[in-house]
Amino acid sequence: MICYSHDARNRKVSVEKRGGKFYNQFMWFKRFIPIFLVFSLFLGCVTTPITERRSLVLIPFENEVALGEEAYREILKKEKISQDGQLITIVERVGRQLAAVSPMSNLQWEFTLIESEQKNAFALPGGKVAIYTGILPICANEAGLAAVMGHEIAHAIARHGAQRMSQSLILAGLLAGTSISLSDHQDREAIMGALGVGTAVGVTLPFSRNNESEADEIGLILMAKAGYDPREAERFWGRFNKMKQGSRPPEMLSTHPTDTTRIEDIRQLLPKANRIYQTNPLKHGLGQSFLYILSRRKMEQNSKSSPAVPQSGKPTPAPGSH
């Protein structure tokens, strides 16, 4: 039999009292967790520009911008940046005009042209936009590029990346994202994925169908406000659809709307975008064509790669002249 001393019994009673007090405090706090969660969700609701949709964002905007900047620098270190001055000028021109009419025109916008056959483009929080040269032939002209860039810029100004991170925080039981960083972070791949880019070079990840559709709507309005013919957006997605090869999953199993659905949705939005475009005193129409520029580049590359024909002092005899 184990005997306790009087002091030991007193200590035991004291610990039990403290334990009971802590338990009661915890149970009291636990009752208010749902209220605290609802209150936090209410404070986290923001209104998306242009579409006026309400969405949940628990990530502070400053933290979101810092993540976008960090991810952008990391991606560009792995990519080959284009040195084609003419194409860079066009990408900059289209991007600046879209950014100027966006609800976040005061961001530190950057536009980078990446030399790659990837048919991709992306925009990260804080106004960091990248276009891959492989998508330019499908764009065909400045208005087609405006459709692509407007769509990507829309993801940034609608804060779709922050929305996805907020959903992840809720699932993880967290209510604050102020300390999120890519540096030495165990969830860096999840964060990059939420921002819409993968850790592998040249990989962009899809947003939800609702986010993609919202980006189409916002992008269409932006290109009309920037003075580009919004009807080219429908034509661009038609060309993009023809370019795709292989089978595609049913829409209900895909995070992207099918191209036919996307084109039909854009067609429904065109009357509104066209009214904005028609009343806009600044009209670029389709802008400059990429097809001529790219075909000329290809001819120049072929001529450089072709072996030089040796020149002889004597003229080459015509066939049959011997």
Query: For residue 262, is it within any domain?
Result: yes
* pLDDT tens-digit readout, 52-101: 898 888 888 998 999 899 999 999 999 999 999 999 999 999 999 999 99
pLDDT at 19: 52
* pLDDT tens-digit readout, 249-288: 544 344 556 778 889 999 999 999 999 999 999 999 999 9
pLDDT at 32: 42
pLDDT at 215: 94
The amino acid that residue 142 corresponds to is E
Number of other CB atoms surrounding residue 12 within 10 Å: 11
The contacts of residue 99 (CB under 8 Å, 6+ apart) are 105, 107, 109, 127, 153
Q: Give Cα separations from 177 to 34, 35, 126 (angstroms).
A: 19, 19, 17
pLDDT at 246: 58
In angstroms, the CA 260 to CA 83 distance is 36
* pLDDT tens-digit readout, 262-273: 899 999 999 999
* Mean pLDDT on 112-130: 95
pLDDT at 165: 79
Query: For residue 284, is it within any domain?
Result: yes
pLDDT at 21: 52
Query: For residue 109, is it within any domain?
Result: yes
Number of domains in the chain: 1
Query: For residue 206, is it within any domain?
Result: yes
Q: Strand, coil or helix: what is 208?
A: coil
Query: For residue 322, is it within any domain?
Result: no
* pLDDT tens-digit readout, 136-178: 999 999 999 999 999 999 999 999 888 887 776 665 554 444 4
pLDDT at 227: 98
Query: For residue 175, is it within any domain?
Result: yes
DSSP single-letter state for residue 59: S
Query: For residue 95, is it within any domain?
Result: yes
Q: Please report which helix (H) or strand (E) contains residue 189, including its range.
A: helix 188-195
pLDDT grade for 242, boundaries at 50, 70 and 90: confident
* pLDDT tens-digit readout, 286-312: 999 998 888 877 787 777 776 655 555
- The whole domain housing 128 covers 60-242+255-300
Query: For residue 149, is it within any domain?
Result: yes
Q: Give Cα separations from 129 to 73, 152, 296, 322 (angstroms).
A: 11, 8, 26, 64
Tokens for 57? 């964002």
pTM > 0.75: yes or no: no
Closest to 232 (Cα-Cα) out of 294, 178, 185, 290: 290
Among 104-108, 167-171, 192-196, 313-317, whose mean pLDDT is lowest?
313-317
Phi and psi at residue 228, to the nearest 5°: -105, 140
- DSSP codes, 137-150: HHH-BHHHHHHHHH
For residue 232, indicate whether it is catalytic. Answer: no
In angstroms, the CA 306 to CA 166 distance is 55
* Mean pLDDT on 309-317: 51
CA Rg value for the chain: 28
* Mean pLDDT on 221-235: 98
Residue among 64, 69, 142, 152 flagged as catalytic:
152
The pLDDT mean for the chain works out to: 78
pLDDT at 261: 87
